[in-house]
Amino acid sequence: MNLTKTLAKYFYKKYITTLLYSLLISTVFVFIIDTAELSRRISKAGDGDIILAIKLAFLKLPEMVFEIFPFIILFGSLAAFYNMAKSSELVIIRSSGISIWKILTPPILVVSIIGLFLILALQPFIAFTSAKFKELEARNLRGQLSLITLSENGLWLKEENLENNTYYIIHSLGMDKSNGNIENVIFFNYQENGNLLRRIDADNAKLSRGKWSLSNAWIKETEETVFYKNYSINTNLTIDQIQENFSPPETISFWALPNFITIAEEAGFASQRHKTKFFNLVVFPFFLVAMVLAAAPFSINYIRTSRTNILIFGGIVTGLAVYTLSSVSLAFGSSGAINPLLSAIITPIIAITGSITILLYTEES
């Protein structure tokens, strides 16, 4: 027997309302915790600017909500199913001949649409705010004076020198990470006000021991150009910093990730983290569906048992286990230990098949 239009509409409304409450509570909680933690870090850095802490917390909030969204779906689903079971609505619906799969259809459709909307429409905005947060955090909390980006035009580095109020803009088509070499490199040396002091063109630049060692360098200041067989420039950068800090996966739009991965590999950078992030975004709607199915056996079965606390606790523990498994598999994918696609799909597959098996068992018992 299928759900009537009126009953389906009621299910959609009740489930969406519960999810909105779960989202609101989670968002407020995350914002308060982040503001307190950022205030502590800012104070530790020697500046108790609460306005900066709030600004950073707002910029970080979209990414944090996106990260915990599977839990929002889990808690919302547990609450919605439990309330309907407790009020005997599910008893009446089940006794009318409607199967559990028909009852689960509205929640699954809702979270699938939400997941697609988050990935296709909101994730680019989340990536933008995440990039702004990391930029401000690096400058104000970690004292990082270098910015590293990668584009179709090659590798771009910006490093500030506070001692003489100047900074370098460095450009190269790529980098050999194994020995820290970049070829056909250009160093633009600017004053703090943006005036160009000099331009340095070199065939090769090697990064090691706190300096760039340039080979066959041409230095142009004003109208004069001077050639140096070997030339060095002090730097605070390291090879690992360049690899770790250029465009973190969470700061790149879903639509831009495939092209960025291609560019990174052509430039000689590892792209495992970015591939893993891309595949994780692709399967994200399925992960949300897995959370709905993981919540269903524990909350819907309230009508068959009086051990309510045990059921709810079991649902939360199961959701935590699914989330932990996902985090571990993604970590393996990012490190290159397993295939990035496999690391992204393995958790939804296990969670969905496991939940369906439990539901089938409870339906037959």
pLDDT digits (tens, 9 = 90+) for 312-355: 777 788 888 888 899 899 999 988 889 999 999 999 999 899 88
The pLDDT of residue 282: 95
Backbone φ, ψ for residue 345 (5° rounding): -95, -15
Note the pTM of the prediction, 2 decimals: 0.79
Asked if 226 and 343 sit in the same domain, the reply is no
Alpha helices in the chain (DSSP H): 5-44, 50-86, 89-95, 100-117, 123-140, 239-245, 257-266, 272-282, 284-300, 308-335, 340-364
Which residues face 198 on adjacent strands? 189
Residue with tokens 């770790």: 244
Closest CA to 211 of 168, 153, 264, 151: 168
Whether residue 249 lies inside any domain: the answer is no
Phi first, then psi, for residue 156 (nearest 5°) are -125, 130
Give CA–CA dist 147/113, Å, rounded: 37
Could you tell me if 182 and 288 lie in one domain? no
Judge whether 242 lies within some domain: no
Confidence of residue 72 (pLDDT cuts 50, 70, 90): very high
Which contiguous run of DSSP H or E holds residue 181? strand 181-191
pLDDT given at position 270 = 72
119 and 59 together in one domain: yes
Domain count within the chain: 2
Position 46 in a domain = yes
Dihedral sign from CA coordinates of 331, 336, 340, 342: negative
217 and 293 fall within a common domain: no
Q: What is the pLDDT of residue 342?
A: 94
